Structure 1
């Protein structure tokens, strides 16, 4: 064979090899991901759904039972988040109000930031405090229940199941703690009269328990542990809202029954991005549920989460691959059912709506850095590579969000695990192993 022809063949082979290498570098290898799931000793014992989507090439990379419905738990908050992005502006409405002569009549909007312990929405409070008017709280505009559909009633004493109402104050939650003298204290202090020692109440360790139907709080006759702290949702009522408003404002507030007029004005509280961050990173159920009511106040005269969900499904989510069964804002209900491919579709919509990937990542839990996956992932030289919303109920654990690989590929994924009998840590660690492999090897 002539030397010149050999040279041409060698060059052709090298070029062909280079193109193959470039092709491998530019595409996620589906076969290797399939093997991870096939040979997993953890994921084969329960229902697993997975969808991995290439954001740059706009195509699905790998699917495993992604058209099946799963209980999403707090992945539901992604639907609430998107609905808020479509319906709210840059600030949360705190109050609706009208002024008649020497009277100021106001309506709640469901604003979760109103005197919130972290969000500290004080514009509504300051407006009422400095109005120099007689204050009238108009009730009856919230038409839902204090719990969402399908919530577990026996979780009423736990911090994550706060009641829903039109005008939440101070997180709708009592904070019990040991002061520097190891004495039991409660915030807000107004609730102190509800706190009782009960010698017949004998839990295995010190724990305060609220009566299901009232705000009576009992504690056992036993030593108070150092650094004790417990958060207990209180039983909401118009009477308690009025009492807490008056106690905080140091002004009289009277209840009235009036429909919201069309010419009512609005006072705004906290920046919406700040509120979204506090919902998504620690997975705050209270904020998620109340935000649906805030959305409601922008469109309807009454506060009703079902109306907002129906509106969102009709106007914003009518082209999802699979119609969502969506019943609450937080994901506490097991009636919620979504498919992984619909969640991936939603994640693409969220990214399009925010239009700023860096901002979106800053709102989400970041692996190894913030939120509910802070301890789940390791960073890549100090930088997170996964930003995902977790969702957990007993026997269920999910993650859905965004992933950037070592080679810079931008991906969206939904990884859902339902009905496992083993420890959640085992399932979570296996999910982390697979997501980390995808990052490291692509």
Structure 2
């Protein structure tokens, strides 16, 4: 009798164990993944994203937790999402007002050099205090161009885009946005008014420039009013000529000698004025110059600056706690060398949110769905709910920022798409569909 009783006891124990496991299993293995997948699946299972490289991260600020992830640890080309890193650098290293010019005096001579501030004579920005200082100086003016030791274009930029408006050159003292603005009846700066030539007929009107000189040419003929910007080839000599022409006084170049750390700084426009334009219209030139201004702030001895210095400083001193090391090469995102992960961008946006706790100010800097910037024609709603930065290159579309749900919850998101072959408009629409669902149902 002992053997049957023993067998019966063992069988009963096994049944109880199986029943116990079955009753607890849905809570830990089935239900929890289902809850997590609620916001991941629209991205992971999207037929539009099927052949692209896609990553997604969604973070709840109130809960302080990530509520959805899909390939968020993978690296992506971020395009202009890079400007979020540039914004954080500016918020961390620049004050409320932009350092616009450094200068020193010797007798009746004013020796001045640029900080990277891009606002002087810029056609789309308010007047700069720098112009008033130079215009009202009664003595000699000397421009010192030797404080910039970087190159005119960023690493990984497309060499063929040198004449496109979005790839203006990097300089320590930009003038006129480092572009020539052509309209039907005007050329600015006027020093280039005789530099435009017709280069033949084409059905499409287009302006361009010789790669290695400031000779501009047009093909076709404009059929309507137009405004088009073409970057000019920069040089220290041209900077002095442009200033002299505008100020109506001589501007000479100062020789390359050590300037030391005794100088004055002239502060200009509010920093938010620059950040807002940089993020709203995705101004590449402004982004690069912000990083150069950050490098100048670090260069207290005027030893020489380049953008790489500020990138390295911010990475090593301010961003060591990101989930994944950012591969960060320029300020604008024009470089194909940049690589970030969605979860690192979300972590960066948490840092920005902590640094700018005023939601009205922070969200006003971003492109605003249905209202302003590169998102003006998307996410249309009575009350804006997406405040973000777009990022576009060929076969790249990324969107990262803040989302305010119908229930008033603030979420941080990053959705990144690379290597797709469908039209970008399809990727953009699918991204909008997914984020709108989060807005309505989270």
Q: When the two structures are superposed, what TM-score results if normalisation uses the length of structure 1?
A: 0.90
Say whether the 8 Å CA contact 1:121–1:269 is kept in structure 2: no
How do 1:409-428 residues align onto structure 2 when only pairs under 5 Å count? 409-428=409-428
Question: 1:77-125: CA deviations, max 9, x gaps?
Answer: 0001001100000111111000111111001111011221222242011
> Residues 38 and 253 of structure 1: is their aligned pair in 2 closer, same or farther, counting only changes over 3 Å?
closer
SS at match of 1:61: strand
User: Cα distance 1:193–1:239, how it changes in 2: closer, same or farther (>3 A)?
Assistant: farther
Q: 1:395, 1:383 → 2: CA distance?
A: 31
Corresponding position of 1:13:
none
Query: Partner residue of 1:345?
Result: 347
> Is structure 2 residue 59 aligned with structure 1 residue 53?
yes
Residues 203-242 of structure 1 show CA distances to partners (whole Å, capped at 9, x for unaligned) of 331212200001101124x543221322101111112111
**What is residue 205 of structure 1 aligned with on the other side?**
204
C-alpha separation between the residues in 1 aligned to 2:164 and 2:35? 44
Corresponding residue for residue 383 of structure 1: 383
Comparing 101-110 with 202-211, greater Cα deviation is found at 202-211
Deviation of 1:397 after TM superposition, in Å, equals 0.1
Partner of 1:163: 169
Q: 1:260-292 CA deviation, whole Å, 9 max, x = no partner?
A: 321110111110011100101100000000111
Q: Select between 119-128 and 30-39 the one with higher mean Cα deviation.
A: 30-39
**Distance in 2 of aligned mates of 1:86 and 1:248:** 34
- Contact persistence 1:279–1:288 (CA under 8 A): yes
User: Residues 142-291 of structure 1: matches in 2 within 5 Å?
Assistant: 142-179=148-185, 185-198=186-199, 201-220=200-219, 222-257=220-255, 258-291=257-290
Bigger Cα Rg: 2
SS of alignment partner, residue 50 of structure 1? strand
Shift of 1:29: 5.2
Task: Output one character per residue of 1:141-183: Cα deviation in whole Å (capped at 9) or x when no partner.
Answer: 111111000000101111101111111011111111113xxxx
Q: Is the 8 A contact 2:39 2:67 kept in 1?
A: no
What residue in structure 1 maps to residue 6 of structure 2? none
Taking a change above 3 Å as real, the CA distance of residues 33 and 194 of structure 1, as seen in their structure-2 partners, is same
2:306 aligned residue: 304
Find the aligned partners of 2:318 and 2:341 in 1 and give their Cα distance.
17
User: Could you say what secondary structure the match of 1:193 adopts?
Assistant: coil
Q: Match of 2:407? A: 407
Aligned partners of 1:150 and 1:334 also within 8 Å: yes
